[in-house]
Structure 1
Amino acid sequence: MRALTIVPVLAACLALVPGASVSETRVPQSPAEISLSFAPLVKQATPAVVNIYAKRVVQARSASPFAGDPLFERLFQDFARPQPRVQNSLGSGVILSEDGFVVSNFHVVGGATDIRVVLSDRREFAARVVLADEQSDMAILKLEGAEGMPFLDLRDSASVEVGELVLAIGNPFGVGQTVSSGIVSGLARSGAATGSARGYFIQTDAPINPGNSGGALIDINGDLIGVNTSILTRSGGSNGIGFAIPSALVAQFLKQARAGQESFLRPWAGLEGQAVDGDLAEGLGLGVPEGIIVSDVHPQSPFAAAGVAQGDVILAVDGLPVNSGPEMIYRMSVAGLGESSDITILRRGERLTVTVPLMRAPEDPPREALVLGERDILPGLALARVNPAVGEEFGLPFRAQGVIVTDPGPVAARVGMRPGDVIASVGGQDIEAPSDVAKALKAAGRGIDVIVIRSGQAVRLRFRL
């Protein structure tokens, strides 16, 4: 049901409620009554939804006077030097605790140097980001000097069902706090969000527009079930397909923020696989396509320690079905580091359950971080040995090895090195450890030939001293 069809019959319906009159205003006593009007629910929830104004300084190039000229545009491509520019962003947030922890989107507050949070009663607070994660497009802020704040309770999003009535609360287009209604129209939407966000989302048809980002998606009890993060649109406006980050993941973000973490830590799976499609399901003897078939397991993976092997099909995590890699990582993330999860697998037609400890990617072998000094050939070049933890940070291939560039520094950047490049050889010498790079550079002479692996491709960099 939509509010526009409900409101005209509100007076008639109230006459059926014992002891109620048209002029009487009271909190509805059941889901059936609350569906007649959202007003009491809105009054309860909106004080905990805030507007966020953020400023960040970005380096932007001014327009070149030679732009479009076929001859001079290339000759004077460096004519316009980057100039610092203040960029403003507007979004929403949700207060999660009395002491002023607030959740919002990374694309609203990430990299901000000045954040101002305005409550519905017009109180204003300065805020700082205490934990941020671009991959999930989520951030936790702390209001300065806040106490006794209104906040929303978190509902376990695993209990949310398609068809539930929901409200989206935020500040679309900067017009002020606004409420829109709809239903949960889909669950387990993985990889559907835009921008940098990856993972698992709740889909809703409640209108969500620019400025709603970071706002609340609540159920008819006023509990937070998700944080609005993006829309699927071709016009820039809401077309009824919006996505929210589930509250179960929000709870883990809040837990890690309270523990002092500055970036979100996810459990490491240490395996590769693919979703089971119709053809695979038939070959595996499954009645319907479900789960993830394992194609490779890292020797240090907790799944390997639990006995999971190539060819196994992962069907569920803690009793909840998983049908994609992002969904499995999401289920593990909401369980939390330091805990364990029961993994249901299918092996040669038999269903088994194994217990997997949830751990971070190991620093084995040690990363041996090294920064070349001022007297080295490429001063400021920061290097590290690739291990599972480093590979996780930089999104490297599953079994990547070698030495990675974590920061090229000013000189190496000019010759073409980038963060994430894996150095295969320098001057024809194979590289196995960070210290090998400095030695090979000194022995290479004036003409230096470096081969790096970038996005799975070998790239040759040549330069002279």
Structure 2
Amino acid sequence: MLRATVLAFSILSASFATAETRVPQSQAEISLGFAPVVKQAAPAVVNIYAKIIRQGRNNSLFSDPFFQDFFGGGFGAPQPRVQNSLGSGVILSGDGYVVSNFHVVGSATEIRVVTTDRREFSATVVLGHEESDIAILRLEEASDLPHLNLRDSDQVEVGELALAIGNPFGVGQTVSSGIISGLARTGTATGNARGYFIQTDAAINPGNSGGALIDVNGDLIGINTSILTRSGGSNGIGFAIPANLVAEFLRQAQEGNNSFISPWAGITGQHMSADIAESLGLAIPLGVVISNLHELSPLAEAGLRVGDVVTHVDGDEVNSPAEMKFRMSVAGVGGTSILTRLRGDESAEVEVALIQAPETPDAEKTTTTEDTVLPELTIARVNPAVASDLGLRISQTGVVVVDPGPYGARAGLRAGDILGEINGDRIERPRDAVRALTDPGRRVQMTLERDGRSLSLRFRL
């Protein structure tokens, strides 16, 4: 039993001044377990209580103007409901920058943060990104707070010991231990999040979201974000957002950005399967195959073309579009990255500019007024920036719904819908839609594209 205990903690150093690994030298050191590292790191992990107001479901019968007039304006109207979100966060700086998950605080109207010594702070989201599931908070009137150092997550290895710290099920701060089970996990999501994760078997449960995944030196490896489960509890498969991406979010928040800016590749990439590798004459399936390339793409400017395989970004191997996007996001906008490109038997390193998605052509963003049949509908001409914001194909053109507004949502429109025709008029620019929605008669018929499918909407005024 003693031998098993010694092996279990052989990676844990009694001194946190260095990262040296050695076997504990005494029974006293063995008895400590993870206590020293938890004592050091736990004060920087906070509990988050967020209040979210959700609109109630609409009763279609009482939304009819006839019944509203008959029973009174408020009768049957959907009532907003308050939803309380519970999660965790990690303090990243002494002046009150905290990281959590977007799904915990992204829609919150009120956020309260409680530290381990029971101090309470009001907080606001200063930078959030739903796709990455990261939100950076700023605590009000905070100073000299304990905070965690961010470790270079590219140096993390499978098999390392790891600790997850958070507030599962609201029971209070809890610590669970495990190992790093896998790296570069993709295709895992919480809500709308899509990304690149570190996998751990340290127990993560509801309420742990936004909490810390740390190493045995107390440095932050990642932010716990999701689990794979059938029961709702931990099955030993948890995922954390790597610390390197968190560092880029923190940098942008401290520079005053209120939205996350990531480099635009302007490509559609495809995971390299064994079949594709064989068709390209590759011995090992490695890299990302470029299947589509926007004419304004910085990769096209650097000489890459459809059919090329990107195997590395800045020396780091990439094996999926999500991993390639992660590597470029960590590098940040404004500099360059070195991509290793494979074309047939030829391999070359190519320098690529890291740019924002261009606003070319002009989006011509327009919001309809009260003299149209769908007031408060926001539409725009698709360009790379608009396509990137709404998750559209890089080759998409036309006019897109940016925000349907209350009337558009009631008619069945959603953000991301591409307008085709309105009452037979082809919609090629936002002004075409505004004209078609002005005094169109008693009936409105719209054709649109949604997620690659053609749809038709009809309604009477």
User: Common fold, TM-score beyond 0.5?
Assistant: yes
1-structure distance, mates of 2:53, 2:439: 42
Is the CA contact (8 Å cut-off) linking 1:3 and 1:181 kept in structure 2? Answer: no
Tell me how far 1:28 sits from its aligned partner.
8.4
Tell me by how many angstroms 1:358 deviates: 1.0
Q: Does 2:278 align with 1:288? A: no
**What's 1:413 paired with?**
409
CA RMSD of aligned residues (A): 2.6
Cα pair 1:131 1:139 within 8 Å, conserved: yes
1:193 and 1:232 in contact (8 A); partners too: no
Is 1:320 the counterpart of 2:310 in the alignment? Answer: no
Q: Does 1:267 align with 2:269?
A: no
Aligned pairs (5 A) from 1:348-359? 348-359=344-355
Conservation of the 8 A alpha-carbon contact between 2:336 and 2:352: yes
Within the candidate set 157, 164, 182, 1:161 is matched to 157
Change (3 A) 1:416 1:175: closer
* C-alpha displacement of 1:120: 1.2
Q: How many residues are treated as equivalent by the alignment?
A: 439
Instruction: Kindly state the Cα deviation for residue 380 of structure 1 after the two structures are TM-superposed.
Output: 2.3
Correspondence 1:297-336 to 2 at 5 A: 297-336=293-332
Give the secondary-structure state (helix, strand or coil) at the position aligned to 1:31.
coil
Q: Residue 223 of structure 1 corresponds to which residue in structure 2?
A: 219
| Aligned mates of 1:334, 1:421 — CA distance in 2 | 31
Q: Distance in 2 between matches of 1:214 and 1:434?
A: 40
Match of 2:390 in 1: 394
Deviation, 1:286, is: 1.9
Find the partner of 1:347 among 343, 349, 361. Answer: 343
Provide the rounded CA distance (Å) in 1 between the counterparts of 2:229 and 2:418: 37
Residue identity matched to 2:202:
A
Structure 1 residue 202: Cα displacement: 0.3
2:235 to 223, 232, 239: 239
Once residues 245 and 2 of structure 2 are traced to their aligned partners in structure 1, the CA distance between those partners, rounded to angstroms, is 30
Matched, 1:106 2:94: no
User: Is structure 2 residue 338 aligned with structure 1 residue 337?
Assistant: no
Q: How far, CA to CA, are the matches of 1:27 and 1:282 in structure 2?
A: 49
- What displacement does 1:63 show? 11
* Residue in structure 2 matching 1:364, options 360, 381, 384: 360
Cα deviation, 1:221-244, whole Å, max 9, x if unaligned, reads: 111010011111111111111100
1:383 aligns with 2:379: yes
User: What does 1:117-136 align with in structure 2 at a 5 Å threshold?
Assistant: 117-136=113-132
- State the distance in 1 between where 2:250 and 2:17 align: 31
Cα offset, 1:463, TM superposition: 3.5
The 2-side partners of 1:240 and 1:63 are apart by 42
Aligned to 2:141: 145
Deviations 1:371-412 (A, max 9, x none): 222223433222211111111111222211111122233443
Q: In 1, Cα distance between the equivalents of 2:39 and 2:99?
A: 20
Distance 1:378 1:395 in 2: 24
Is the CA contact (8 Å cut-off) linking 1:451 and 1:461 kept in structure 2? yes
Quote the Cα distance in structure 2 between the aligned partners of 1:26 and 1:423.
Answer: 63
Q: Which residue of 2 aligns with 1:174?
A: 170
**Amino acid in structure 1 at the alignment position of 2:169:** F
1:186 aligns with 2:182: yes
Where 1:163 maps in the other structure, the secondary structure is coil
Which of 31, 37, 41 in structure 1 is aligned with 2:21? Answer: 31
Equivalent-residue separation in structure 2 for 1:369 and 1:240 (angstroms): 46
- State the secondary structure of the residue aligned to 1:255: helix
Q: CA deviation at 1:141?
A: 0.6
- Is the partner of 1:82 in helix, strand or coil? coil
Deviations 1:398-437 (A, max 9, x none): 2111111222334433333222221112232222111112
State the match for 1:91 in structure 2. 87
**Percent of aligned positions that are identical:** 59
Matched with 2:446 is: 450
Distance in 2 (CA, whole Å) between partners of 1:457 and 1:62 is 26
Q: CA deviation at 1:461?
A: 2.4
Partners of 2:200 and 2:459 lie apart in 1 by 54
Query: Which whole-Å CA distance do the structure 2 matches of 1:438 and 1:385 have between them?
Result: 13
Q: Is 2:456 aligned against 1:460?
A: yes
Displacement, 1:8? Answer: 11
CA contact (8 A) 1:31 1:220 kept: no
Looking at structure 2, the residues matched to 446 and 89 of structure 1 have their Cα atoms a distance apart, in angstroms, of 44
Shift of 1:123: 1.6
Whole-Å separation in 2 of the counterparts to 1:336 and 1:449: 44
Distance 1:27 1:320, change over 3 A: closer
CA deviations 1:208-227 (Å, max 9, x no partner) are 11111111111111110100
CA, structure 1 residues 121+272, in 2 after alignment: closer, same or farther (shift >3 Å)?
Answer: same
Q: Structure 1 stretches of 5 or more lacking a match?
A: 18-24, 65-77
Contact 1:28–1:40 under 8 Å retained in 2: no
Q: Distance in 2 between matches of 1:384 and 1:362?
A: 14
1:230, 1:123 → 2: CA distance? 27
Shift of 1:9: 9.9
- Name the amino acid aligned to 1:251: A
The Cα offsets for residues 344-378 of structure 1, whole Å up to 9 and x where unpaired, read as 01012111110111111111000011122222343
Secondary structure of the residue that 1:55 maps to in structure 2? strand
Distance 1:357 1:453, change over 3 A: same
The structural deviation recorded for 1:152 is 0.5
Q: Given the superposition, is the C-alpha separation of residues 26 and 152 from structure 1 closer, same or farther in structure 2, using an over 3 Å criterion? A: closer
Counterpart contact for 1:248–1:334, Cα < 8 Å: yes
TM-superposed CA distance for 1:131, in Å, is 0.9
Which amino acid is 2:126 matched to? Answer: V
Label 1:364 to 1:259 Cα distance change in 2 as closer, same or farther (>3 A): same
Closer, same or farther in 2 for the Cα pair 1:60/1:430, shift >3 Å?
closer
Answer whether contact 1:274 1:293 (CA < 8 A) is retained: yes
Going from structure 1 to structure 2, the CA distance change for 1:235 and 1:448 (only over 3 Å counts) comes to closer
1:294 counterpart SS class: strand
**Unpaired stretches in structure 2, ≥5 consecutive residues:** 61-73
Distance 1:3 1:321, change over 3 A: farther
Question: What is the SS of the residue equivalent to 2:22?
Answer: helix
Change (3 A) 1:332 1:115: same
Partner of 1:73: none
